Amino acid sequence: MKIDNKHRFLIIAVISVVMIAAYEGYWLSGLYKSQRQSLEMQISSLISKSELAAYSFQLKREQLTDSIAFLSPDNLSKIVSIKRDSSFDNKIRSISVYRRDDFNKQVASSVTSPEFYEMMDSILFQNFKEAGIDEIFRPLDTQEFVSNVNPDSVVRNGYIIVKSTFGKTPYSFDTGLMTGYILLNMSGIIFTSLMVVAIVVFSFWFFISTLKKQMELDEMKSSFTSNITHELKTPIAVAYAANDALLNYGLADNPVKREEYLLDTKEQLEKLSALVERILSMSMKERGNFRLDVSETNIRDMFEKIVQETRLRTAKACDIQIEADDNLTAVFDAKLMSSVVSTLVDNAVKYSGESVRIQLRAIRKSDKLFISVSDNGIGIAPEHQRHVFEKFYRVPHGDVHEVKGYGIGLYFAKTIVERHGGRISLTSTPGEGSTFTIEL
């Protein structure tokens, strides 16, 4: 199956976003593992440090020494204890020598007592606090089933298990709070990474959306060029044929035919002039030098003139009703606003069946004027309603192919209304008709 450039770019964009997101996820996962391993090593070190501090404190409390103890290396078999008479007398009171075996027996029971674990927890908490990780502190636990652990520390079943230096049962530290702590510390990096991915996704979406709109605009411009070319050629061709008949076929001597041909020429030139004026008005608006010639205008008189012109322009049966007070007036550019309402009425006539019923209504509420044009035509589907005021946009109507248009009528209407400081809206139901409301 052949893939066009737009879909090819879309596929590349999706693959790129997925790859970037996957890389960010891989990098964050690696960073998390590194942070966790570092924290586990720090905790293991603090547990060993706390055990040594608690052990030293326990030695003094068991009164193996009053002041100073010398611990020989493992390959020696004696411990020397030196006692002094008092804290103010530097004379040595006695020197005691213990065999290591006897010493170990004497201390072994003390390092596994509940009091020793409480002391370790207290010292460990202080060490955690100094390290700035007291938020994840949990009291130590012992697990007999891991008493044969060979490494100094391992992580198993959600616990950091640290081998005891002086006892047989290892210490276990619950890591339940570590995940949240690490993720909280990484929150800035995670947020930045998510923002990078979001920005990339938004950039691709914006680019694709802009590209899609540009392609649609190009297509609408092509359709506009085709339609406008036809509309420009038609009045020129009719006027040329009428003048040619008058000049070359002797019809100028026939007053009836001459008047008929001249009226046809005038009508076609008026259509051409109106089309050119609309295009120029749109161009002036885009350049920013669009000016209004405002004056007080009677709404009902404007409606009646539009109705009269519409009935002269179309051979279709039109039932046009007017609802407006005789003395209702408003200040606006009468020529342009009349053109806006006329455009809405023309569309109602174009996009309807063999006959059409149109209602022109104007009413003032407080300081606002509401002008509405309703019809019983074919209506507009909801998915097209928000686009009808866009330049060059034409609503597809399925089997209605004979209706000619430029895609600038409603854009022109919206431009004029907004230039007056108002707004125009649409309410439509397919198969039932449409209502355009101008609020000034």
Domain boundaries, the chain: 5-185, 291-439
Q: Which residues contact 186 (CB under 8 A, 6 or more apart)?
A: 28, 31, 32, 35
Q: How far is CA 339 from the centre of its chain?
A: 39
- Classify residue 91 by burial, with Cβ atoms within 10 Å: 0-12, 13-18, 19+: exposed
- The pLDDT score that the predictor gives to residue 399 is 44
Burial of 250 (0-12, 13-18, 19+ CB in 10 A): exposed
Backbone torsions φ then ψ of 35, nearest 5 degrees: -65, -40
Q: What is the pLDDT of residue 374?
A: 92
DSSP 50-66: HHHHHHHHHHHHTTS-S
**DSSP per-residue string spanning 225-290:** HHHHHHHHHHHHHHHHHHHHHHHHSSGGG-HHHHHHHHHHHHHHHHHHHHHHHHHHHHHHHHHT--
The predicted structure's pLDDT at residue 1: 46
Task: Collect the ranges in the chain with pLDDT lower than 70.
Answer: 1-6, 59-113, 142-154, 156, 167-168, 220, 222-234, 250-252, 278, 280-290, 396-407
pLDDT of amino acid 314: 75
Number of C-alpha atoms within 13 angstroms, CB side, residue 97? 3
Residue 29 to residues 36, 62, 190, 304, Cα–Cα distance (Å): 11, 49, 10, 74
Q: Give the pLDDT score at 315.
A: 72
Alpha-carbon span 262 to 270, nearest angstrom: 12
Which sign, positive or negative, has the C-alpha torsion 220, 222, 228, 231? negative
Q: In sequence order, what are the residues at sequence separation of 6 or more whose Cβ sits closer than 8 angstroms to the Cβ of residue 176?
A: 138, 158
* C-alpha–C-alpha distance, residues 331 and 409, integer Å: 23
Six token digits for residue 100: 């290591």
What is the C-alpha separation between 123 and 24, in angstroms, rounded? 40
CATH number, domain 291-439: 3.30.565.10
Q: How is the beta sheet containing 423-429 ordered, strand by strand?
A: 317-323, 355-365, 368-375, 433-439, 423-429
Distance CA 63, CA 90 (A): 19
Contact 77, 19 (CB under 8 A): no
Cα four-point dihedral sign 39, 44, 48, 51: positive
Joined tokens for residue 53: 């501090």
